Structure 1
Amino acid sequence: MVDGPVTTCNSYDSATPHANGGGAAEMLYPTEYLNSLNYPGLSPHVLNLKVGVPSILLRNINVTGGLCNGTRMIITQLLTKSVEAEIIMGTRVGEKVFFLRMKLIHKEPSLPFVLKRLQFPIIFSYAMTIQKSRSITQEDRCLFTKTRLWSRAIICCTLKSYFPRSMAQITALAQLISGDRNRTIAARIYQKWVTYSYHIQAPTGYCCMLIDEMNYPKLVNMRYGDKDFLDNLMHLNKVYMISNFEMSRSY
């Protein structure tokens, strides 16, 4: 649906035997069969590209230059043998990069051969998986790494929530700093869980994940003794006005 012509790039596929396989794998498997194989992390045989479309890089090409696995980009120009794109994430946002076709090697255990595909190492990326999103962290990412719900917290950042626009004197979660008191926040309850101590095998706390209007997440720690009261008070996906709390960083 994006305006502009589509450029179709076909890959060159080949098969080689495993290290101890022997034989001529390229003679046993027709090119049409190799072209039909698609696996996660591997560009398709028929890759349709278009200027202005968001995409994601599937291989590490130049880490220091911003071209690494998981880099999100906007395609800005399609040349004969290369692609120009603008980085839209990380520390190199706005920089223009170029990359060529490269040999993508996929070793699928269920296949009796190693698939080699010469193709641009990108795919369209209007959404991304949990694994790819692990590299996208917030300034206070330490709040997530100490919980088992770190990956879920990253997903929260992509969800759209709707809040009343008439709120006054509301502090955004991203603006909270250590030691903040007497602030009022408006946030949606995304997730609730109980933390346990592996040493004494007993519950130690009650936590929840808050999401504000800008989809910014924050971890809340509460006393386990208040669990029953808070669990009945806080309902998932409901928006609450919260005050009388203390903000601190977790390391």
Structure 2
Amino acid sequence: MLEELVNKVFSNFEENVFNMQCLSERSILAPLLKNVAFTNHMFKNMMPVPATNFYSVNTAVSDEDSMHYPTEFLNSIELAGLPLHILTLKVGMRKIIRRNLNPPQIINGTRCTIIKVLRNVLEVNASSGLYKHENHLIPRIILQPADTQLRFPFTGKHFLVRPCFAITINKAKGQSLAEVGLDLRTLVFTHGMLYQMSHCPELATNSRFTF
């Protein structure tokens, strides 16, 4: 079912992987992050280009905490809103920006395509927003999680991007997409998300939906 949906929304994907205009306004929407992550992983494996792994640099703020919490432990922490320790990137990947990095050009929710992958900088082409079709540089950013459940503060240096071949229905709010596929393997009715999506002006007016 999912493969059929992907083929309908992203027809001839491998042939069009570098066709930014063709792919930039298409997405699969799903209610849960786990569904989105699975679909984006599928797209990553479908891309016939080399992959580069990037590793976050995580450090305890105080010297005392660094003695009790080694780097290996910090790398294993998974928090909402914090990128994973390992980020796999490929040229041609579609990403969505996770923070306001350079307003108004690059803001939270800007969709983009990776043009070039460097050690500490990504060159991307924006596919949404006021500066659509322009190239921008995305640096690694140092974050300090605000999760109050942690007993100690630490910082992590990350590229603040997330794959967006598939995105959550919540994240689709404010996005303008021409071709949308709905992954309904997990029912959305109990979450109230289908109602929310149908009342999103950008999607309801301009999108073609595929189930």
TM-score by structure 1 length?
Answer: 0.52
Which one of the candidate residues 44, 47, 57 is aligned to 1:12?
57
Q: In structure 2, what is the equivalent of residue 52 of structure 1?
A: 92
* Structure 2 gap ranges (5+): 1-45, 178-192
Which one of the candidate residues 113, 126, 136 is aligned to 2:152?
113
Q: Which has the larger radius of gyration?
A: 1
Q: In the TM superposition, what whole-angstrom CA distance separates every residue of 1:6-56 from its partner, at most 9, and x where no partner exists?
A: 111111101236xxxxx8222211111110112232221111110011111
Q: Which has the higher helix share?
A: 2
Partner AA of 1:6 in structure 2 = A
Runs of 4+ in 1 over 3 A off after TM superposition: 154-158
Looking at structure 2, the residues matched to 31 and 155 of structure 1 have their Cα atoms a distance apart, in angstroms, of 42
Identity of aligned residues (%): 29
Q: In the TM superposition, what whole-angstrom CA distance separates every residue of 1:170-224 from its partner, at most 9, and x where no partner exists?
A: xxx859xxxxxxxxxxxxxxxxxxxxxxxxxxxxxxxxxxxx8x24xxxxxxxxx
* Structure 1 gap ranges (5+): 18-22, 139-147, 159-172, 176-211, 216-236, 238-251
1:144-223 superposed matches below 5 A:
151-153=196-198, 174=205, 214-215=208-209
Q: Which has the higher contact order (CA 8 A, sep 6+)?
A: 2
State the 1:123 CA deviation: 2.0
Contact 1:107–1:115 (Cα < 8 Å) also in 2: no
Q: Which has the higher strand share?
A: 1
State the 1:131 CA deviation: 3.7
TM-score by structure 2 length?
Answer: 0.61
Q: In structure 1, what is the equivalent of residue 18 of structure 2?
A: none
Looking at structure 2, the residues matched to 123 and 149 of structure 1 have their Cα atoms a distance apart, in angstroms, of 23
